[in-house]
Amino acid sequence: MARLRSPKGCPWDRQQTHVSLIRFLKAESQELAVALRRGQWHEIEDELGDVLLQILLHAQIASENGDFNIQDVALSQYKKLVRRHPHVFGKKRLKTAQDVLANWQTFKRRERSQRRKDLQSRRLSK
C-alpha cells in the first residue's frame, strides 16, 4: 500500500482520501454480502480480499497522516475481542448465545458512554 501511494506509485491511489474511498468500501462490502448469500466460496474469497484492500488503504492513509497504522488497527481489534469475550478469555461463564448477546450489548453501552466521556474531556482540554 505504501508503494502504491508513493510518488512512484499509482496516481489514482495517491489522490484517494478516507472520504473519497467511502463509495468503494460500500460497494465492496455489498459485493461481499451478495457472494455470502450465494454461498459461492471463490467469490467470497475474492470479495473478502477486496474489502481487506480497502481496509489496508484506509490504514495507509491514516499512517501517512500520523493517526494510526495497520498494526494499531490489529492491536485494537485484538483488545476489543478479548474485552468483549470474558467468557472465552476470562473467568466469566456464559452458557447460551443469548447470554453472550446480552453481555455484548452491555459492553457496547459502556464503550459508547466511555467514548462520549473521552470526547467531552478532549473538548474541555482544548
Lowest-confidence range among 23-27, 82-86, 122-126?
Answer: 122-126
| Same domain flag for 18 and 69 | yes
CATH of the domain at 40: 1.10.287.1080
Residue 71 and residue 91 in one domain: no
pLDDT in tens, 8-57: 999 999 999 999 999 999 999 999 999 999 999 999 999 999 999 999 99
Write out the residue range of the structural domain in which residue 56 sits: 1-76
Give the torsion sign (CA, 28, 29, 30, 34): positive
> How many independent structural domains does the chain possess?
2
**Global pTM value:** 0.81
Query: Are 57 and 109 in the same domain?
Result: no
In a shared domain, residues 95 and 47: no
Q: How sure is the predictor about 126, in pLDDT bands with cuts at 50, 70 and 90?
A: low
CB contact at 8 A, 52 and 1 = no
pLDDT in tens, 58-76: 999 999 999 999 999 999 9
Same domain, 5 and 63: yes
Question: How many CA atoms are closer than 13 Å to the CA of 12, on its beta-carbon side?
Answer: 1
Q: Look up residue 92 and give its amino acid.
A: K
Q: Are residues 63 and 111 in the same domain?
A: no
Can you read off the three cell numbers belonging to residue 86? Answer: 470474558
The reply to whether 44 and 101 lie within a common domain is no
